[in-house]
């Protein structure tokens, strides 16, 4: 694999490459994920309470508005049913008093019923006629505008109801007169043990006009409408009376004339007073307030179109939705803008930090090169001395005699010069290759070979100080995938620290072993002075050093950063007076393509 070298000297500020670049710490996808995560988290925290409160407020306003709109309907139905109940009760009580106070013989006297009818009309109003029906169902006396004397009512429901229960209020019906009317009947008893029925007729128009405001009533109805002034129908609404079979007892603006069937749900299963929202027979959404009229088969109904009823609510609902929505959009805009600004600042900070770390890493490498300079110079001097010696001998052979020197001797001296030159070239190549800044390049690395290359830089120091270096590893340690130059720097820093910690004649052991199936561990252990326990937590901090008067405190900090970038871990064990062991754990990784 070809390794690309930049020019010698300080590295360019290019933290966007390699571990820092497209797939590294400064990758665009990383900051996009950061932006997305922060926006979602902050927006959720900010919008969740707003959403909850908006829903609660919406529901509360909806319930309050609905109650405010429907309360007049409910009051109308309740008050109307009480007023109509009083209206019917007055007439029933009046008939009951007539039956109780007037003997039947007087009731059938000519003109007697006419006098009673005129008096009751003046006192109560709302009556059309009066009739006296004997127990055979024959009307024997009558007062009113129709010719109904002698009519047979034995089969009529109102007559049978009064005969069985003592009193009866009928549904609206046509009867003999062919006009809708309502019969109020009271049973009375004769002195001889017989019985009779006194019946009064109420025009259904009376009920209709009872539900209208005073301006809509006919003048002749004013006498019996004095108690009904509170029954004005609310705007956009329709009020009417039905019986249990839903037959209209008063005309309806929505559902037809008297005795037509109203297109609303059956209310018999909902006794008393109530309110429901439903769809009528016309397919219109309506609100219905209803109240049963006591002691009668009637139900007072008030119907309001839901659209007209909710017209004000629609405006309020729009405001309740638009305000939180606008607030949510504003919050999202502020959160997104603020987060984008912070992410960009973070990215710029990371870029500067990466550039600084890059420079520190390179400076640390040059410092290590400086420490190796003496040993490398000594190592180069040996082959250079051989080259000078062999070259001088070859010159002497060529100048001391006119005869050409032996061919074998010249070849031997030339080979010796070439071998020494190659040795110098290898040393300088290793040194320059380590010193030059290189773009990060992932490749398959044999750690045993790499570690021996690093140790080769320190061979002269180890030889001079009589430091013994042992390699321990499995028979076939696996390859790792990483950057050769960075791993060289990592292990050079650690082994340099081990050399600094041991006395002359000390021992350093380098071990390669599997940490688990996916990781490999390299341990560098020395028998040096050790590190105090209270300093172990600080050794990876920048500018912290235990070397008094020497060292920059950057080596282990940079080592830790490089290993982290490579996806590995660094751990340390140490005991004062016994030694120190640094362990670098690296992922084995997928083999790099050749």
Q: Cite the residue boundaries of each domain of the chain with CATH code 3.30.565.10.
A: 441-594
- Asked whether 288 and 303 are in contact (CB, 8 A), the reply is yes
Q: Which neighbouring-strand residues pair with 310?
A: none
Q: Which two tokens stand for residue 177?
A: 């007169």
Exposed/middle/buried for 472, CB within 10 Å: 0-12, 13-18, 19+?
exposed
Q: Element (H or E) spanning 486, and its range?
A: helix 484-501
The domain over range 441-594 is classified in CATH as 3.30.565.10: yes
Sign of CA dihedral 167, 171, 175, 181: positive
- Distance in angstroms (rounded) separating the CA atoms of residues 590 and 594: 12
- Kindly provide the residue ranges of all beta strands, DSSP E only, lying in 204-306, ordered along the sequence: 238-243, 273-279, 285-292, 298-305
- Cα dihedral 492, 494, 500, 501, rounded to 10, equals -160
Q: Cite the residue boundaries of each domain of the chain with CATH code 3.30.450.20.
A: 68-309
DSSP code, position 313? H
Q: Element (H or E) spanning 508, and its range?
A: strand 507-516
Q: What are phi and psi of 482, to 5 degrees?
A: -170, -165
pTM of the complete model beyond 0.85: no
- Distance in angstroms (rounded) separating the CA atoms of residues 586 and 571: 12
CATH number of 68-309: 3.40.718.10, 3.30.450.20, 3.90.226.10, 3.40.1390.10?
A: 3.30.450.20
- Distance in angstroms (rounded) separating the CA atoms of residues 495 and 372: 12
pLDDT string in tens for the chain (594-residue length): 333 333 334 444 444 444 445 445 567 788 888 888 888 988 888 888 888 888 888 888 778 777 777 788 888 888 888 888 888 888 888 899 999 989 999 999 999 999 999 988 888 777 899 999 999 999 999 999 999 999 999 999 999 999 999 999 999 888 888 888 899 999 999 888 899 999 999 877 777 777 764 444 444 444 444 444 446 677 778 889 999 889 998 888 889 888 899 999 988 878 788 888 888 888 888 889 999 988 888 999 999 887 766 666 677 778 888 888 888 899 889 989 988 898 888 888 888 877 776 676 666 666 666 655 655 665 676 677 777 777 877 777 777 777 777 777 778 778 777 877 776 776 666 566 555 544 556 788 888 888 888 888 788 788 888 999 999 887 777 888 888 878 887 888 888 888 888 999 999 999 999 888 888 999 999 998 888 888 877 777 665 566 654 555 566 777 887 888 888 888 999 888 889 999 999 988 765 555
């Amino acid at each position: 694999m070809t390794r690309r070298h930049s020019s010698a000297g300080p590295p360019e500020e290019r933290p966007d490459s390699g571990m820092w670049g497209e797939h590294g710490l400064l990758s665009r996808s990383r900051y996009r994920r950061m932006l997305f995560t922060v926006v979602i988290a902050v927006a959720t925290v900010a919008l969740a309470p707003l959403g909850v409160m908006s829903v609660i407020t919406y529901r509360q306003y909806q319930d309050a508005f609905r109650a405010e709109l429907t309360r007049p309907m409910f009051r109308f139905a309740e008050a109307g049913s009480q007023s109509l109940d009083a209206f019917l009760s007055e007439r029933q009580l009046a008939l009951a008093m007539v039956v109780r106070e007037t003997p039947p013989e007087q009731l059938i006297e000519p003109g007697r019923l006419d006098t009673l009818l005129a008096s009751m009309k003046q006192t109560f109003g709302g009556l059309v006629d009066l009739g006296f029906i004997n127990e055979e169902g024959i009307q024997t006396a009558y007062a009113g505008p129709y010719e109904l004397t002698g009519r047979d009512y034995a089969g009529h429901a109102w007559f049978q109801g009064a005969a069985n229960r003592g009193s009866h209020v009928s549904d609206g019906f046509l009867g003999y007169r062919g006009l809708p009317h309502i019969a109020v009947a009271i049973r009375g008893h004769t002195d001889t043990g017989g019985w009779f029925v006194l019946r009064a007729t109420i025009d259904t128009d009376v009920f209709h006009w009872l539900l209208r405001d005073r301006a809509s009533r006919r003048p002749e109805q004013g006498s019996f409408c004095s108690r009904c002034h509170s029954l004005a129908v609310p705007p956009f609404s329709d009020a009417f009376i039905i019986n249990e079979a839903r037959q209209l007892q008063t005309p309806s603006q929505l559902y037809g004339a008297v005795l037509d069937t109203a297109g609303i749900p059956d209310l018999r299963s909902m006794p008393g007073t109530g309110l429901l929202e439903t769809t009528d027979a016309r397919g219109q959404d309506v609100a219905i307030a209803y109240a049963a009229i006591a002691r009668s088969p009637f139900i007072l109904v008030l119907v309001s179109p839901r659209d007209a009823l909710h017209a004000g609510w629609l405006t309020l609902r729009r405001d309740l939705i638009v305000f939180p929505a606008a607030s949510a959009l504003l919050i999202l805009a502020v959160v997104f803008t603020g987060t984008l600004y912070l992410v960009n600042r973070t990215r710029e900070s990371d870029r500067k930090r990466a550039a600084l770390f890059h420079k520190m890493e390179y400076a640390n490498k040059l410092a290590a090169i400086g420490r190796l300079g003496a040993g490398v110079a000594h190592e180069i001097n040996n082959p250079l001395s051989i080259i000078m010696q062999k070259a001088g001998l070859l010159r002497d052979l060529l100048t001391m005699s006119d005869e050409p020197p032996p061919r074998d001797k010249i070849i031997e001296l030339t080979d010796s010069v070439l071998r020494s030159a190659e040795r110098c070239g290898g040393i300088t190549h290793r040194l320059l290759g380590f010193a030059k800044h290189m773009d990060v390049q992932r490749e398959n690395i044999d750690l045993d070979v790499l570690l021996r290359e690093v140790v080769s830089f320190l061979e002269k120091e180890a030889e001079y100080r009589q430091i013994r270096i042992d390699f321990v590893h499995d028979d076939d340690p696996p390859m790792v995938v990483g950057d050769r130059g960075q791993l060289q720097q990592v292990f050079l820093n650690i082994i340099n620290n081990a050399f600094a910690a041991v006395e002359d004649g000390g021992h350093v052991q380098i071990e390669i072993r599997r940490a688990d199936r996916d990781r490999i561990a390299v341990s560098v252990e020395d028998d040096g002075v050790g590190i105090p326990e209270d300093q172990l937590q600080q050794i990876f901090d920048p500018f912290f050093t235990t070397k008094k008067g020497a060292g920059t405190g950057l080596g282990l900090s940079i080592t830790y950063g490089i290993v982290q970038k490579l996806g590995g871990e660094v751990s340390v064990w140490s005991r004062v007076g016994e030694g120190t062991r640094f362990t670098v754990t690296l992922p084995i990784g997928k083999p790099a393509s050749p």
